[in-house]
Amino acid sequence: MTWLVPLPVILPLAGAGLALTMSRHPRAQRVISVVVLTLVLVAAVSLLGLADRGPLVVDVGGWAAPVGISLVSDRLAALMLSVSAAVTLCVLLYSLAQGLADGDEEAPVAIYHPTYLVLVAGVANTFLSGDLFNLYVGFEMLLLASFVLITLGGTAARIRSGSIYVVVAIASSLVFVVAIALTYSATGTLNLAHLAQRLPEIDPGIALVLQLLLLIAFSVKAAVFPMSAWLPDSYPTAPAPVTAVFAGLLTKVGIYAILRTQTLLFAEGRADELLMTAALITMLVGILGAVVQNDVKRLLSFTLVSHVGYMIFGISLSSQAGLAAAIFYVIHHITVQTSLFLVVGLIERRGGTTSLIRLGGLARVAPLLAILFFVPAMSLAGIPPFSGFLGKLGLLQAGVADGSLLAIVLVIGGVAVSLLTLYVIIKAWNQAFVQDAPDDLPDTTLPRGMVGPTAALVALGLTLTFLAGPLYAYADRAASDLLAQSPYVDSVFSRGDRGVGESPEAAEGTPP
């Protein structure tokens, strides 16, 4: 069944090409996008089941593993793929309904569909990549697509915020390229499994430099303090579905890269204390930024930064409990944050603004909208029984089990930030839904096609609560794989020091 592995990358890319040729037939484009993303979702969920029996590896082009590029779908990758596929499909349906309702004025759809599919392919490529350079290519694919999406329409506000986003993203990519060059010079390989074997053998000082360079490159993408300032400024101006998919997925791609490299390549955990400190400051700075915001989009962007800190906290513990909690938290946060941004898009339509000063009384005029906001918002704040509570509980338990002073400080900080999130959410709830609006709200109705996907995503978030047992167990097994390293490395080098593939000269010849 290894033929399933490349599908989440190939299908959207082929779909993007097809959609580009159909740029004059919007209806055909919509059909292509929906069909492709549905197929990706099916493939990802199948991989989720198959990867539980052991990682699936494909050596691209038939070149055996350290020579060729491998795509690896282990438990972590499959889990991330499934959630991202579900989220991107919901967001696509939402944006289709928005395009139909607006008459496609605000978004030039001819470009939107191919770009969106390339974004999905890039995200899938980073999750599946078993090679550092291929990881870089995946990053660039999703970044270029995100550049186009964030400046869609080329209005003044989007060009202003987009230019900051683009320059920051390119700068972090440059750091990544330098890290790749130095890694190659130090070890002579870029295959992740091969690096896992060779990096412990090189000079520890050089290994530390490589680790920190990679951490910087990924932290910019994941918006870890002090590399987080670009996020709250650039996300809110994009169209609602674009912001939703960026907030849900793009920072998590950075988190995934940190998680993968810190466990597979640098298992000694020499940056753990640095990561813990960064996690604490990220949580605090993010949530303090959210407290003073009056605009619900910016407010959510700041809470996004703040909650990235929780995931870094889990990774920095380097224990099975910590990693499992971090993985569960990533899954929870992708669904919840995306649904919140979609709901904000609905609020903007209903209330005509995202300013909390001008909104008000929405609970009376749009009770369904209030429910759709309330459920993920409470989950974000970590109120039981929602999935956010379970993720935070796991993180706090892992932190207490770690027992070091810094971990205990982080546990206290985590609780405080959770309470502040609740304060922020309640404040937004009061201002937008309960209090009377200063001026009358416009009298509009929400298109059913936009409410539907949002409700589906909120329901998915609720399902995470009900399925928390099996899901947490899956995350726990993924974490134990990550710590053991051997399932990943052994499946890539299935023939001793080579992978499967037809490169007989390379496989049989004596290495120089």
Partner 1 sequence: MISTPDFVLVVVIAVLFAGGVYLMLERSLSRVLIGIILVSNGANLLMLVVGGPPGGAPIVGMTPEQEMSDPLPQAMVLTAIVITLGMSAFLLAMAYRSWQLNEHDEVQDDLEDRRLARQAATDQGLRSELGFDGALPATLDEDAAEARDEMALFGEERAEVDWE
Interface residue list for partner 1 (CB under 8 A): 106, 133, 137, 140, 144, 147-148, 151, 153-160, 162-164, 166-167, 170-171, 173-174, 177-178, 180-182, 184-185, 190, 233, 237, 294-295, 353-355, 357-358, 505, 512
Residue 77, phi then psi, degrees to nearest 5: -60, -45
> C-alpha distances in angstroms, 281 versus 73, 216, 286, 470?
33, 16, 8, 32
Residue 102 or 497 having the CB closest to partner 1: 102
Supply the minimum distance, in Å, between the C-beta of residue 193 and partner 1: 16
Burial class (CB in 10 A: 0-12, 13-18, 19+), 131: buried
Nearest-approach distance from CB 92 to partner 1, in angstroms: 21
> Please, what's the b/e burial string for 87-96 (b: 16 or more CB within 10 A of its CB; e: otherwise)?
bbbbbbbbbb
Enclosing H/E stretch for 58: strand 56-59
Write the DSSP assignment of 343-390 as a string of letters.
HHHHHHHHHS--BTTT---HHHH-HHHHHHHHHHHHHHHT-TTSHHHH
State the minimum distance, in angstroms, from the CB of residue 441 to partner 1: 15
Cβ-based nearer residue to partner 1, 21 or 185? 185
CB of 64 to partner 1, least distance (A): 15
CB of 140 to partner 1, least distance (A): 5
- 87 neighbors 234 (Cβ within 8 angstroms): no
Please state, in angstroms and as integers, the Cα–Cα distance from residue 327 to each residue in 76, 333, 362, 489, 493, following that order: 8, 10, 35, 20, 25
- Cβ atoms of 485 and 196 within 8 Å: the answer is yes
Between residues 103 and 512, which has the closer beta carbon with respect to partner 1? 512
Q: Which is nearer to partner 1, 270 or 358 (CB)?
A: 358
Cβ of residue 143: shortest distance to partner 1, in angstroms? 8
Comparison of 38 and 173: residue with beta carbon closer to partner 1 = 173
Comparing C-alpha atoms, which of 54, 51, 31 is closest to residue 43?
51
Which parts of 223-295 fold into alpha helices (H)?
230-234, 240-245, 251-264, 272-291
Q: Which is nearer to partner 1, 231 or 464 (CB)?
A: 231
Distance from C-alpha of 183 to C-alpha of 206, rounded to nearest angstrom? 9
C-beta closer to partner 1: residue 176 or 256: 176
Q: How far is the CB of 103 from partner 1 (least distance, A)?
A: 13
Cβ contacts of 108 within 8 Å, gap of 6 or more: 152, 153
Q: What is the DSSP letter of 3?
A: G
Comparing CB distances to partner 1, the nearer of 35 and 181 is 181
Q: Note whether 498 and 507 are within 8 A (CB).
A: yes
Helix 132-150 / helix 109-128 crossing angle, nearest 10 deg: 160
CB of 186: closest distance to partner 1 in angstroms?
A: 8
- 299 backbone dihedrals φ, ψ, rounded to 5°: -60, -45
Residue placing its CB nearer to partner 1 in the complex, 185 or 404: 185
Cβ 315 to partner 1 shortest distance, Å: 27
Report the chain's C-alpha Rg in angstroms: 22
